[in-house]
Amino acid sequence: MRRFVSAAATVLSVLLAAVAVPAIWVDRTIVQEQGFVELAAPLAGNTEFQQQLAVAAVGTMDTSAVPGFFSDLVQPVLEDAASTLTAVPGYPAAWEETLRKSHRLSFAAPATGDGGAASASSLTLDVAPLVALGSGEISRMTGLPLDPPDETLINVGQPEHKEWTERLTTYAPVGYLLAGGSAIALLLALVAAQRRWTMLAGAGVGALLLAAAWALGARLASAAAVSADSGNEVANMFRDEFVAAASADFQGWNVAAAVTGGVLLLLGLVAGSFAQKRVRASR
C-alpha cells in the first residue's frame, strides 16, 4: 500500500508541476508589469527595431497647430528627429515608460481601478512617451510649441490575442497553488516510500521528461506566435524580438528543471547503490 501511495503521489507531483512551472513563469515575466518590462527592456538594444519605432512615433506627431509658413521648416526637423531620437539621453526612460503604459493597456481589465484608464481591445503599444520625447526635442530646436497626446497606440496583435491576455491574467496566478500542491505531493511520496531512493529516481526522471516536454511546447508556442502577421512592420518586429526574448528566458527555467531532475536521479541512483551494498553486506 505504501508503495502505491508513494508512486501515485510522485506522479501527481510531476503532473501538478507540469502546469505550475509554466504558469508561474507566465505570471512573473508577462502578466506582472515589472517582469514584462524587464523582459522587453533589452529590445532597446535592437537598433533596427528602435529606429523604425522612432520613425513611427515621430510620424504620429500632430503639427496642425504649427503656422503654415513654418511647415517647410518643421518637416526636415521631423525627419531629423526620427533618425536621432534613439540617441536622445531620455530615450531609455521613455522606452521603459512605453512598455509600462503598453502593459497596462494590454493586461488591464475592461474597467480598471488605476485612475479609470480603459484597456485596449487588442495587444497594443502606447508610444506616447516616445512621442512626447520627440515633441520636446522638436520644440527645443524650432521654438514651436507642440502638444503631445496622452496616448499614441500601435496595435501589435488582434482582438483574439487580447482575450488570451485576459485568460493569462486570470489563470496564471493559479500556478502558485499548483506548485504548493506539487511540493506537498512530493513530500507525501517521500514519507510513504519504502525505498526512498526509488522515489527520488522516479521524481528525477519525471523532471527530465517535463523539461523535454516544456522545451518542445515552448518551441511550438514560439512558432505559432511569430506566424501571426499583425499587418504592421513595427509590430511584427516587436513580436519577433519579444518572442525570442521570452523563449530565451523560459529556457533558463527549463535548464534549471533539467538540472534538478538530473540531481534527483543521481541522488536516487547513488542512494540505491549504497542500499544494495548494505543488503549484500548483511547477508
Specify whether 75 is located in the same domain as 64.
Answer: yes
pLDDT of residue 112: 43
pLDDT digits (tens, 9 = 90+) for 16-68: 999 999 999 999 999 999 999 999 988 877 888 888 888 777 777 665 555 55
Name the domain boundary from 143, 163, 183: 163
How many domains does the chain contain in total?
2
121, 163 contact by CB (below 8 A): no
257/175 same-domain check: yes
pLDDT at 69: 44
Confidence bin at 71 (pLDDT 50/70/90): low
Bridge partners, residue 125, by sequence = 154
- The Cα–Cα gap between 56 and 68 comes to 23
Helices (H), the chain: 2-26, 33-40, 47-59, 71-84, 91-107, 128-142, 159-171, 174-192, 196-226, 233-282
181 shares its domain with 278? yes
User: Comparing C-alpha atoms, which of 21, 14, 10, 35 is closest to residue 214?
Assistant: 21
Beta-bridge mates of residue 155: 124
Gap between the Cα atoms of 114 and 101, Å rounded: 12
DSSP string computed for 98-113 = HHHHHHHHHHS-SB-S
Grid cell locating 72? 517647410
Whether the model pTM is above 0.85: no
Q: Do 130 and 98 contact (CB within 8 A), yes or no?
A: yes
C-alpha cell at 69: 509658413
Co-location of 159 and 52 in the same domain: yes
Measured between alpha carbons, how far is 159 from 208 in angstroms, rounded to an integer? 37
- Examine the domain organization and report whether 22 and 120 are in the same domain: no
Domain-ending residue, one of 114, 134, 163: 163
Residues 203, 256, single domain; the answer is yes
Do 177 and 277 have their domain in common? yes
Same domain, 141 and 213: no
Contacts of 72 (CB under 8 A, 6+ apart): none
CB distance 123 to 155 below 8 Å: yes
Residues 157, 186 share a domain: no
Q: What range defines the domain where residue 127 resides?
A: 30-163
173 and 58 inside one domain: no
Q: Which residue among 130, 163, 196 closes a domain?
A: 163
**Higher-scoring residue by pLDDT: 97, 66:** 97
40 and 153 co-located in one domain: yes
Are residues 134 and 108 both part of a single domain?
yes
Can you give the C-alpha Rg of the chain in angstroms?
A: 26
199: left (phi over 0), alpha (psi -120 to 50) or beta: alpha
pLDDT tens track for 128-145: 888 888 888 777 776 767
Over residues 194-227, the pLDDT tens digits come to 888 888 899 999 999 999 999 999 999 888 888 8
